[in-house]
Structure 1
């Protein structure tokens, strides 16, 4: 845990008597992590940040000078990027792009649109012609194979709403070669077959499979492939086990024959969770501790309306206890010692749980919990306004030490 997060707690307690509830994003650590990722990446590869993991503007600004660009999945995300930079490269994905989104993507100079259906392809050709605007695309392909790694969230290798089925490539290319298409150019292919994969070796094998497939299609359809986007899906663990080994993955890939034969084709990666998850903290004060039928519950100021990831994924989210010695009330302070405690939120639903049966030496009402690994898919995917509780505060740590 970043000790600088703990150091903020006394300042917050002096500033307000309200129970503490906050997010802290360590921008300096995010930048350090990305620099380390870039050092191990071979030539002809590019790193994009998938902002769906966390679209906070301060994070986007911190990553802007480091990454090659950003991946977005809606017009709202696209416009967030354009608020920060008018020229940084953008990859635009998502299975349900509306006409208005496609028009705005074309007008906002998206670098590549990931095409996810034949209808979407026809719409892009029609709109690009209407706007008289050259447009570059990557065909997102759902491979027909059972050799992909299996994770909790799979998006390829099985029936899926994402991307074009592999057998539709020939039809897509025929549409692109129609005589009235002079504005839309296929530059390559996009793959995103899974999420949160922890196995570096299998991930390298998966990307090698992508490269093999593209080589076949390039020859079969006489394509000039300048870009292959191998997506994201690099895993993060929440149970203390080792996470994804990025250095091993990039080393295995760089040594492969498939990568060495890329020639002038660029290979993109678009991680989200892997870039930011470890560098965000959700900080919440224990409001109450109670016993119910031989079980102990700690109720925090906050819950799944701020951090829905543990409920969404069904895991126990890691946290640390920061003891607070002061107790302002003239009556006894509820506590548990040497007992299992379930951490729950302030919502009127039994699903508002962040950790079940945590084994703690001691926990008291008024202590502070710091939930680590809360940088990705925590605040962003939460139902913020359910029951109308106040939102948390947001703080940022930089390499210069500012909060």
Structure 2
């Protein structure tokens, strides 16, 4: 007797390869493309992206170690993230990190001491929290008091220092996420204008934060328009290096999370579809507070000798997981979903959540209730 599908992640690496190539082609010469591996550090994803990017940004000692394991002998392009410890900074120096994104004057002094002890010169970008409005951002990282980066005044002071082991190359600024192409381009220009005017920066990393619309899986960030805007920006500041650092927008579309329908039951006027897995494996919808888009792959046969539970014609439907918490919610109907012709979901069906390639398994509270981990496969899931 066949039970419901076990939970699993499926990564469409061929689709990712094509998407990354299209993004790279939309960017002008002179713009470096880094992948912020915090979005998804899966080795297959990193290897697929490698031919299309100028390197990877790590944000912890663990990510540094993982990156050097996947690509032995390759130096990480950038090491960012708040709260770096001395052992992590030392690990970055040992790994040959090409650019450190320094978050504060204190971190700069600590890095200087470690680099000088090694007799090395290390290249630094000062992460700056510019006091500019971040309109339209889904997640605001700067533009107002924030734990990320340093103030413009501190950045100016740091740029004047002559510290042993330190060579300041320019500025890093990531002020918000969820930006459409015009807003992201305007933000990039604001950052570059400040960095050149105030610090005569030769390199500027304007971060990532390109919008991803979970309510419309077919929508895409307008890379050609963004690339054209960056080309104009480079034309205004010749001789500078411009760098971008996206994460989610590169990998989100390549991932799918497949689960099986364990049960369908009614509570009051509402229906609950209980699936294998849940937010302990796929935290994205809980973290962002949305309904994850999904498709239903119906299973026609029902092998059990009792009635098959199925959603009714009336009442809201909520798709939940296996956790002992009412927060274990993956989706609610009638939000983005592709249902079978009947319009109903039955026990034994398979549900495939789309846009599961970023900030999904890697941010999940996977040890809660200690369920078995999901499967990991490449390709596109079928029933």
TM-score tier (shorter): over 0.9
Which 4+ stretches in 1 moved above 4 angstroms? none
**Among 265, 268, 284, which residue is 2:240 paired with?**
265
> Which structure 2 residue ranges, 5 or more long, are not aligned?
none
Are 2:27 and 2:223, in contact at CA under 8 Å, matched by a contact in 1? Answer: no
Q: CA deviation at 1:89?
A: 4.0
Pairing 1:135–2:135 present: no
The reply to whether residue 22 of structure 1 matches residue 13 of structure 2 is no
Question: What is aligned with 1:384?
Answer: 366
Whether 1:294 aligns to 2:269 is yes
Match of 1:96 among 83, 86, 89: 83
In structure 1, distance between residues paired with 2:97 and 2:261: 45
Distance 2:146 2:48 in 1: 34
SS in 1 for 2:363: coil
Deviation at 1:357, TM superposition (A): 3.0
- Correspondence list, 1:347-386, <5 A: 347-358=323-334, 361-386=343-368
C-alpha separation in 1, matches of 2:159 and 2:34: 26
Give the Cα separation in 2 of the matches to 1:164 and 1:270.
Answer: 19
The residue aligned with 1:194 is 176
The Cα shift of 1:149 comes to 2.5
Give the count of matched residue pairs. Answer: 372
Which secondary structure does the structure 2 equivalent of 1:281 belong to?
strand
Contact 2:57 2:78 in 1 (8 A): yes
Q: Deviation of residue 276 (structure 1)?
A: 0.4
**C-alpha distance in 1 between matches for 2:26 and 2:287:** 33
**Residue 170 of structure 1: CA displacement?**
2.2
Within 5 Å, which residues of 2 pair with 1:194-233?
194-197=176-179, 199-218=180-199, 223=200, 225-233=201-209
In the superposition, the TM-score normalised over structure 2's length comes to 0.93
Deviation readout 1:273-310 (Å, 9 max, x if unpaired)? 00000110000000000000110000000110011111
Deviation of 1:109 after TM superposition, in Å, equals 0.1
Give the structure 2 partner of residue 244 of structure 1. Answer: 221
Q: Answer yes or no: is 1:35 the counterpart of 2:12.
A: no
User: Distance between the aligned counterparts of 1:397 and 1:120, measured in 2?
Assistant: 43
Q: Are 2:177 and 2:210, in contact at CA under 8 Å, matched by a contact in 1?
A: yes
SS state at 1:49 partner: strand
In the aligned structure 2, how far is the partner of 1:243 from the partner of 1:156? 24
CA deviation map 1:319-378 (0-9, x unaligned): 000001121211110012434311000101000001123375111000000000000011
Following TM superposition, by how much is the alpha carbon of 1:244 offset from its aligned partner in structure 2, in angstroms? 2.0
Indicate conservation of the 8 Å contact 1:342/1:358, yes or no.
Answer: no
Q: Distance in 2 between matches of 1:149 and 1:259?
A: 23
Aligned to 2:297: 322
Structure-2 separation of matches of 1:265 and 1:89: 21
- The 3-state SS of whatever aligns with 1:363 is coil
Secondary structure, in 3 states, of the residue corresponding to 1:296? Answer: strand
Shift of 1:17: 5.1
1:282 counterpart (248, 251, 257): 257
In 1: Cα distance, 2:164 partner to 2:152 partner: 25
Partner Cα distance (2:291, 2:261) in 1: 17
Q: For 2:258 and 2:29, locate their aligned partners in 1 and report how far apart those are by CA, in whole Å.
A: 40
Residues 204 and 253 in structure 1, CA contact (< 8 A), matched pair in contact too: yes
Compute the displacement of 1:251 (Å).
1.3
The whole-number CA distance in structure 2 between the counterparts of 1:109 and 1:51 is 17
Cα distance, 1:250 vs structure 2: 1.1
SS at match of 1:119: helix
Contact 1:286 1:301 in 2 (8 A): yes
Unaligned ranges ≥5, structure 1: 1-12
Which residue of structure 2 aligns with residue 171 of structure 1?
A: 157
Contact kept, 8 Å, 2:251 with 2:358, in 1: the verdict is yes
CA distance in 2, matches of 1:286, 1:106: 49
